[in-house]
Structure 1
Amino acid sequence: MADSGSTVVVCMDESEHALHALKYYASYIHKPNNKVVLLHCGQYVSFNYGSVSLVPGNPSLVEKMINEEENRINTLLKRMEQELKNLEITNGEVVRIHGEAGHEVVEKAKSLNADLIVTGSRGMGTIRRTLLGSVSDYIVHHSHVPVLVCKHPDFHHKQSKEDNK
Structure 2
Amino acid sequence: MSATQPGRRIVMPVDSSSNCHRAFNWFLKYCYRENDFIIFIHVLQPKYTHGNAVIALDNLINIPVQDGSVSVDDGQRVEAKFRKLAEQAGVNYTIEILADSSIAEAILRLASEHGANLIIVGSRGVGAVRRATLGSVSHHLLTHASVPVLVVPPAASNRPSTSA
TM-score tier (shorter):
0.7 to 0.9
Deviation for aligned residue 1:107: 1.0
1:155 aligns with 2:154: no
Q: Distance in 1 between matches of 2:25 and 2:147?
A: 20
Deviation for aligned residue 1:95: 0.8
User: 1:89-125 deviations in whole A, cap 9, x for unaligned?
Assistant: 1x11111122110011011101111000000111111
Q: Which runs of 5+ in 2 are unaligned?
A: 49-63
Q: Distance in 1 between matches of 2:65 and 2:12?
A: 31
SS in 2 for 1:159: coil
Choose 1 or 2 for highest CA Rg.
1
Q: Distance in 2 between matches of 1:74 and 1:66?
A: 15
1:96 aligns with 2:81: no
Deviation for aligned residue 1:160: 2.8
Deviation for aligned residue 1:42: 1.9
2:125 is aligned to: 123
1:1-165 equivalences under 5 Å are 4=5, 5-43=7-45, 63=65, 69-89=71-91, 91-99=92-100, 100-153=102-155, 154-161=157-164
The alignment covers a number of residue pairs equal to: 144
- TM-score (normalizing by structure 1): 0.78
Deviation for aligned residue 1:43: 2.9
- What code does the residue aligned with 1:158 have? S
Which runs of structure 1 show a deviation greater than 4 angstroms over 4 or more consecutive aligned residues?
Answer: 62-68
| Sequence identity percentage | 23
- TM-score (normalizing by structure 2): 0.78
What's the RMSD between the two structures over aligned residues? 2.3
Q: Which runs of 5+ in 1 are unaligned?
A: 49-61
